[in-house]
Structure 1
Amino acid sequence: MKHFAALYDAIDATTATSEKVAALVAYFREAPAHDAAWAVSFLVGRRPKRLVRTPDLRAWAALAADVPAWLFEECYAQAGDLAETISLLVPESDASDDHALAWWVMDRLLPLAGMAPDAQRIALLHAWQQLYGTSRFLFNKLLTGSFRVGVSDGLVVRALAQVSGITAESITHRLMGQWEPSAAWYTQLIATETTDADWSRPYPFYLAYPLEAELASLGAPNEWQLEWKWDGIRAQLVRRRGRTFLWSRGEELLADRFPEVEVSAEWLPDGTVLDGELLAWRDGAPLPFSELQRRIGRKTVGKKLLADVPCHLLVYDCLEYHGADVREQPMHERRVMAEAIVTRLPGGAAIGLSPVLDIVSWQDAHEARARSRTMTAEGLMLKRRASPYGVGRKVGDWWKWKVNPLTVDAVLVYAQAGHGRRAGLYTDYTFAIWDGDALVSFAKAYSGLTDAQIREVDAFIRRNTVEKFGPVRTVKPELVFELAFEGIQRSTRHKSGIAVRFPRMVRWRRDKPASEADTLDTVKALL
């Protein structure tokens, strides 16, 4: 654990990419394979599921620190991070621990999930007595599921490529899909023989950058393939050895969650991998994302939900054709392969082709983008016809050109303190709009303000608090903000009857009094 803590400290101490990679390389060259496996897992964002109930954890930490619960909560509000609060409050012992990271994870951390509460408490008190400094802080971060460190997946891949001597693309591919950290797995991860790809595994996804330049800067329109940017779940459909595997972009295997797509995939030839978008779909058109949300997260799907929210995979690209990896072939050739595969599926299949737009001029592209919302799309995708299918996000060949967000002017009515870097500041806001003469809660937003603006709003909240409800403060309804969001739909769970997607603050409307904020009727008109 000490060596992993030292790596964390080294990464945390610098903002230089080269120094972070050097620290990772040094760690992986020295770490035992089992420790390195768990380190990779945590560094790329895989975390244990909740092991201990948060209320129990807070109560036991207060007990170990010998402080009353109210004082622990006040400290937590100031620190803004539960793992850090525990590390600071619970006294350290003089014990010295030399156990490895894998031992702490396998023998002390993961077994907590199967213990009774009393056994959990005893185990945690013992662990806190054994660990100190950064090691104990990291144990707490893993315990609370909040472990993060300032390295991207790409930096981890770069370091592993340097250690192993194989390409970053091979490392990235091996990290895709399902795997369990172990010494054997890590040994295979950095093995120089690269023909061992798991046959169920997807390819790394290729991602687009937001388009900010003028369209004319991209060259001739006929060099580009334009498609709708659908609002669904990006997925790869893998058909190999007579079996089907549906993977999300988040590397989650979506087995049995979209059975209509998996049944249709049985008609695909072996050695096929298609890249596309999962959408809620009815009568040949996509349904709003709110409908798809009813299917997301369901391990099993009942007959009624299947009937109410049928789903469809719209195919963008072909990555594997008759068992051959075709990602290096030009986009327009891969499109022909996708068409050859999908058009042979029987009628009624839950797999189709995402249409390519007929664009002659860039003016045509502007006009198509303006129609995006009528298509239940987020905008357009622009893909260079000659481009290969890359790995990750690269500038130049694929662009996403989203429509401008919807906006509403709303009044700040509630506030709550933030966590982490924003601990001690009121940064979590609830906004309301007018329904007649009353303000009705409409949306919550946390992002969009500068640090200076956050401090200014925080000072206003402290001066103008009307009531307190636990951590929440009711604020005098005076500040108006312009909120932007991507989608809007009716909702029976919200008091306003409206729910929005990805709300954020884009402007502090200092020029507007609260009386001029938008009304519920105005917002409903956006539907």
Structure 2
Amino acid sequence: MKRFAALIKTLDSTNKTTLKVNALADYFEQANDRDKVWTIAILSHRRPPRPVNTTLLREWASELANIPLWLFEESYHIVGDLAETIALVLPTSQQSTEKSLTQFLEEMISLKEKSDEDKKNYLYENWKVLNYYERFVFTKLITGGFRIGVSQKLMTKALSKATTIDEDILAYKLMGNWDPNKITFQELVLEENESDFLSKPYPFYLAYAIEGAVNDLGNVSEWSAEHKWDGIRSQVILRNNELFVWSRGEELVTDKYPEFQAFVGTIPNGTVIDGEILPYPNGEIGTFNDLQTRIGRKTVSKALLRKVPVILKAYDLLEWAGKDIRQQSFMERRKLLEDLFRTTFEIPSEDEKNLKGKIPLFLSQRLQFNSWSEVAKERERAREMRSEGLMLKRKDSPYLVGRKKGDWWKWKVDPLSIDAVLTYAMRGHGRRSNLFTDYTFALWQENEQGEKELVTFAKAYSGLTDAEFKKVDAWIKKNTLERFGPVRSVTPHHVFEIAFEGIAFSKRHKSGVATRFPRIVRWRQDKTIHEANNLEDLKAMIPK
């Protein structure tokens, strides 16, 4: 545990990728194999289930610290992190323990079935023999909320440095439903299997947002345009009669989209398609809100498959006949993709109605324009098309790695916005943990009695300057109506303009509407709350 806690302290104290990679690589070279497996599991979000609820943790920590619970709660709201609060308030320990990370985790797993008294004794026993940072890490593991600034990609980079195994192969090895309790480091990482190479994806090429005027890109004839679809960027791989679906976050998600198994036997082996996974309810492109009902599900029920089927909207070809074709020009790759559709489905390459019920694969239509003004007009149709805007790709561009300026640009539609009333506030995190910066906003709606009332519809915590946040925070502290744990309801008084990227009906929200990426645009000190928008104004923005 000492080595693991020291690793987390190092990772948590720097934003420099090189330092994080070096710290992880050193750890993987020195730790025992069982601890390595558990470290990989923790950093890839395979934590054991939480054995103790947070209510009991707070009560027991305040008892051991010999402080009243209300003081602990106030401290927690200021610090903003439960494990850090516990590590801070408990008395300094003069004892120590040599137990390994694996021992601690195996004990935590067995703890779940024990009585509350046994759990309390276990926590007291271990809190007393751990130093501040070990106690912080230990409590993080107990709460099941272990999040540190390490991406899967960064971890595989470090593991690659320590083992000399290719990063992409490691990324595949670490996916799936492996159990850290049952698999060895040798089986998980070191053993070579042909299947490790079979599923290997390519690094994604990412676009930059248009920064100036679109006509600064030069001659419009040198560019190809298509709609920027609002789904999950993915690579679909067909090799050796097997299917692999990778998300842009380098997560293997094949089992999440069983519809795509229909590609096997239809699309030739040695094919890698770059595209967007989109919801397709009722035979048309749905909203990202529809897709969210599929994201994160461990299993996808037949009912959900019927309600929210998905398609792949294909826009590039990275591998053809087993050959890497990324260095060919976009137009050459695009022609091969269109030929794939033409020969596989015996349909015109640009036909959107191409499947005739066969498989959930569509071709993203390539658009040609004679002027940038025509491109701008097409961009204005984006919401009607259920897209986020346009993608502009230089016709002679290869498929590069990562985010590069010059050849691929995204030109998103301007965000929607509405004026709303501040109704609730919560403390922020990090450097803003002592300020109320996380806000809930509401719009007017007429109730059954014909009276207007405020209905919450969105939360936002970015968009104001530090000075504005401090000013609003001071007002909130003087105008609190009620407290609900860390949340305060406030007197309806201030109006803010809220911008968002997308909007859809939602049964999960009290307002009946879900907005995507809401953020504060400006503080409307020129408006009274009675000048804020109605909920019907918001619903009118939903695409028909």
> Any idea what SS the aligned residue of 2:245 has?
strand
**Bigger Cα displacement from structure 2, 510-519 vs 455-464:** 510-519
1:520 aligns with 2:535: yes
CA drift of 1:372 comes to 0.4
Q: Residues 427-446 of structure 1: matches in 2 within 5 Å?
A: 427-436=437-446, 437-446=452-461
CA deviations on 1:314-369 (whole Å, 9 max, x unpaired) are: 11222332333333443333323333334404632211111111233322221211
Separation in structure 2 between the aligned mates of residue 304 and residue 170 of structure 1, nearest angstrom: 35
Distance of 1:15 and 1:401 partners within structure 2: 30
- Alpha-carbon deviations, 1:462-484, whole Å to 9, x = none? 11123334443221211111101
**Partner in structure 1 of residue 59 of structure 2:** 59
Take 1:100 and 1:330, find their aligned partners in 2: how far apart are those partners?
A: 53
Partner residue of 1:285?
A: 284
More off after superposition, 472-481 vs 319-328: 319-328
CA deviations 1:6-54 (Å, max 9, x no partner) are: 33334444555555555445445544455455545555x5351542333
Query: For residue 511 of structure 1, what is the aligned residue in structure 2?
Result: 526
Query: Residue 390 of structure 2: SS of its match in structure 1?
Result: strand
Deviations 1:389-428 (CA, angstroms, capped at 9, x unpaired)? 3444333333222111100011111222334443332222
1:184 alignment counterpart: 186
Instruction: Check the 8 A contact 2:41/2:47 in 1, yes or no.
Output: no
Q: Which residue of 2 aligns with 1:330?
A: 329
Give the direction of change, closer, same or farther, for the CA distance of 1:338–1:63 in structure 2 (3 Å limit).
Answer: farther
Counterpart position of 2:258: 259
Distance 1:133 1:176 in 2: 33
Contact 1:176 1:203 survives alignment (8 Å): no
Q: Which moved more, 1:242-251 or 1:360-369?
A: 242-251
Q: SS where residue 124 of structure 2 aligns?
A: helix
Q: Which residue number corresponds to residue 366 of structure 2?
A: 356
Say which of 371, 375, 384 aligns to 1:374.
384
What does 1:301-450 align with in structure 2 at a 5 Å threshold? Answer: 301-343=300-342, 344-345=344-345, 347-348=356-357, 349-436=359-446, 437-450=452-465
Alignment of 1:21-420 (within 5 A): 21-39=21-39, 42=42, 46-48=45-47, 50-52=49-51, 53-105=53-105, 107-112=106-111, 119-150=118-149, 156=155, 159=158, 163=162, 182-184=184-186, 188=190, 197-282=196-281, 285-343=284-342, 344-345=344-345, 347-348=356-357, 349-420=359-430
Structure 1 residues 127 and 392, CA, compared in 2 at 3 Å: closer, same or farther? farther
- More deviation, 145-154/210-219: 145-154
Tell me, yes or no, if the aligned pair for 1:342 and 1:351 is still in contact at 8 Å.
Answer: no
Shift of 1:83: 0.8
SS of the residue corresponding to residue 280 of structure 2 reads strand
Q: Distance in 1 between matches of 2:205 and 2:531?
A: 45
Distance (Å, rounded) in 2 between the aligned partners of 1:253 and 1:154: 13
Q: Which amino acid aligns with 2:83?
A: A
The residue type equivalent to 2:269 in the other structure is: D
- 3-state SS in 2 of match to 1:147: coil
Report the Cα offset of residue 234 of structure 1.
2.0
- Identical counterparts, % of pairs: 48
Following superposition, the deviation at residue 505 of structure 1 comes to 0.8
Aligned-partner SS, 2:47: coil
Query: Are residue 7 (structure 1) and residue 7 (structure 2) matched?
Result: yes
Separation in 2, partners of 1:279, 1:245: 17
In the aligned structure 2, how far is the partner of 1:151 from the partner of 1:236? Answer: 23
Partner AA of 1:372 in structure 2: A
| 1:211-258 Cα distance to aligned partner (Å, 9 max, x none) | 223333434334433221111122222323323233333444445543
C-alpha change, 1:175 and 1:319, in structure 2 (3 Å) is farther
Q: Residues 97-121 of structure 1, C-alpha deviation per residue, up to 9 Å, x if partnerless?
A: 234444444x344555566655544
Partner of 2:512: 497
Maintained 8 Å contact 2:445/2:454: yes
For residues 264 and 170 of structure 2, the distance between their equivalents in structure 1, rounded to whole angstroms, comes to 28
1:170-207 CA-to-partner distances (Å, cap 9, x unmatched) read: 76676677766653267539xxx998734245444333
| Residue of 469, 479, 493 corresponding to 1:478 | 493
Q: Which amino acid aligns with 2:79?
A: A
Q: TM-score, normalized by length of structure 2?
A: 0.84
Distance in 1 (CA, whole Å) between partners of 2:42 and 2:267 is 36
After TM superposition, give the deviation of residue 284 of structure 1 in Å: 5.5
Secondary structure (helix, strand or coil) at the match of 1:374 reads coil
Letter in 1 for 2:371: S
Is the contact between residue 205 and residue 400 of structure 2 (CA under 8 Å) also seen in structure 1?
yes
Aligned-pair distance for 1:64?
Answer: 3.7
Q: SS at 1:375's partner residue?
A: coil
Shift of 1:65: 3.3
Q: Summarize the Cα distance change of 1:223–1:95 in structure 2 as closer, same or farther, 3 Å threshold.
A: farther
For the residues of structure 1 that align with 2:302 and 2:156, how far apart are their CA atoms?
42
After TM superposition, the structure 1 stretch with the greater mean CA deviation from structure 2, 449-458 or 325-334, is 325-334
**CA apart distance, 1:68:** 4.1
Q: Normalising to structure 1: TM-score of the pair?
A: 0.86
How many pairs were matched up?
A: 522
Q: 1:468 is matched with which residue: 476, 479, 483?
A: 483
Please, what is the CA RMSD of the aligned residues? 3.3
Cα distance between partner residues in 2 of 1:469 and 1:28: 44
- In the aligned structure 2, how far is the partner of 1:123 from the partner of 1:24? 30
Contact 1:314 1:351 in 2 (8 A): yes
Structure 1, gaps ≥5 residues long:
none
SS at match of 2:383: helix
